[in-house]
Amino acid sequence: MHQLKHAMAAVLFIGAVSGAEAATVTLSCSALGAEANLCREAAERWSAETGHQVEIVHPPQSASEQLALYQQLLAAQSPDIDVFQIDVIWPGILGQHLLDLSAYVDDASLSAHAPAMAASVRRGDEVLALPWFVDAGMLYYRTDLLEAYGREIPTTWQELTDTAALVQEGERAAGNDRFWGYVWQGRAYEGLTCNALEWIASFGGGTLVEADGSISLANDAAAAALDLAAGWVSAISPPGILNYTEEDARAVFQSGDALFMRNWPYAYALGGAEDSPIRGVFGVTVLPRGGPDEASAAALGGALIAVSRYSSQPDVAADLALFLTSPEEQRRRAVDGSYAPTYPDLYEDADLIAAYPFLGLFGETLASAVARPASVTGGYYNEVSSIVYGAVHATLSGDASGADSLAAARRELIRLSRGGRW
């Protein structure tokens, strides 16, 4: 098991030399963008307040690889990690390994979170985790280039395709041969399921598996969405897009080499940082839609903090989880890292909105956000997602049409769900 723990990067101890009462808890948090720093600062704060120590470990960057590692650790009932940052789609998958936190959090505090986030952590009377931040896919664009080329912010995917091609051609002719029209997440992993869900739902093609469990993904609108996206590869998006995660897309956009990017809110603070080449020349808005009669769709994401059932110090671990997810900490992460809080009250915070005007718009984005079918497929969600991203990746790679990939995925999903019963 120690080997697994060491598969995680950057082990770091925080806190004073332990006294008689001091405990050491291990916290696993992501290291995407500024997350490692934010996590360390929070741990230092908690450590100073409580006298306990924190050992921080970081899992791999891809959500799918994180889950695989956590599943191995937890299946072995390892006490190595006490507190986990988990994805909003994982409670149904990891639930049996997570400590019920209902003894530590009262209903009023839980209800202070946005209803969708509060609902994502409840299982019957149990509270399997605490909401930490909420994510929704957004469209980042270059204000300077749109203006220079006399183009509007695109509201449909076709407009995005056309504008991206035009500006890419112009920028290349002007000498930047590394310039691309649109960067996003095309690797075969959870992030591609998010992108695909956004394309498909905004074409009116449903949400892959619907709330009643029915498998809806094989339809003409969904196939058209995938075929359009497949046409981006090597045209307005780099060939390497088929292996891009969030950070790969951000690297290109933030260095000034792309017109549009699909990403989560965290990229906003980093793009606006003092040393960022695109500081002051980019904006963020809702993602395009399939057509004028369709609605934009943002995949709902985010993170929760959970305590392992195998922790040898559940009380101390729960205290750290409560601290990390408190309104004060969420406000700090919003200010320092543009992580969107799970407390609706914070969206009324004038200072916060002044620092990040997009958070004002974020309410609108969230209202149109679509959840991945994690609750309805429960423990099967990870298989569902991997069938979906595998099929989408095949179409993006030019191996099968959108219609053929989706038909194949539908057959696999029917088999997995035993005919839609999940």
Task: Please answer whether residues 279 and 273 qualify as being in contact, where contact means their C-beta atoms are separated by less than 8 angstroms.
Answer: yes
Residues 6 or more apart whose CB falls under 8 angstroms from that of 369 comprise 136, 297, 298, 299, 300
Task: Please answer whether residues 400 and 205 qualify as being in contact, where contact means their C-beta atoms are separated by less than 8 angstroms.
Answer: no
Q: From the list 35, 55, 80, 135, which residue makes contact with ligand GLC (rule: CB under 6 A)? A: 135
Enumerate residues 363-382 that contact ligand GLC by CB under 6 A.
none
Task: Please answer whether residues 289 and 202 qualify as being in contact, where contact means their C-beta atoms are separated by less than 8 angstroms.
Answer: yes
Q: From the list 14, 38, 39, 88, which residue makes contact with ligand GLC (rule: CB under 6 A)? A: 88
Tell me if 209 contacts ligand GLC by CB under 6 A. no
181, containing H or E segment: strand 180-183
Distance, CA of 331 to CA of 45 (rounded, Å): 14
Tell me if 287 contacts ligand GLC by CB under 6 A. no
Of 32 and 222, the one with the shorter C-beta distance to ligand GLC is 32
Closest approach of Cβ 265 to ligand GLC, in Å? 9
Q: From the list 35, 80, 82, 87, which residue makes contact with ligand GLC (rule: CB under 6 A)? A: 87
Closest approach of Cβ 375 to ligand GLC, in Å? 14
What are the angstrom distances between the C-alpha of 372 and each of 68, 104, 301, 333? Answer: 19, 29, 8, 25
Distance, CA of 91 to CA of 110 (rounded, Å): 16
Closest approach of Cβ 248 to ligand GLC, in Å? 11
Residues touching ligand GLC: how many (CB under 6 A)? 13
Distance, CA of 83 to CA of 28 (rounded, Å): 6
Tell me if 301 contacts ligand GLC by CB under 6 A. yes
Which range in 87-95, 114-122, 232-240, 392-400 contacts ligand GLC by CB under 6 A?
87-95
Q: From the list 191, 288, 290, 341, which residue makes contact with ligand GLC (rule: CB under 6 A)? A: 191
Of 167 and 287, the one with the shorter C-beta distance to ligand GLC is 287
H helix and E strand count, the chain: 19, 13
Which residues of this protein are in contact with ligand GLC, per CB under 6 A? 63, 87-89, 135, 190-191, 194, 246, 264, 301-303
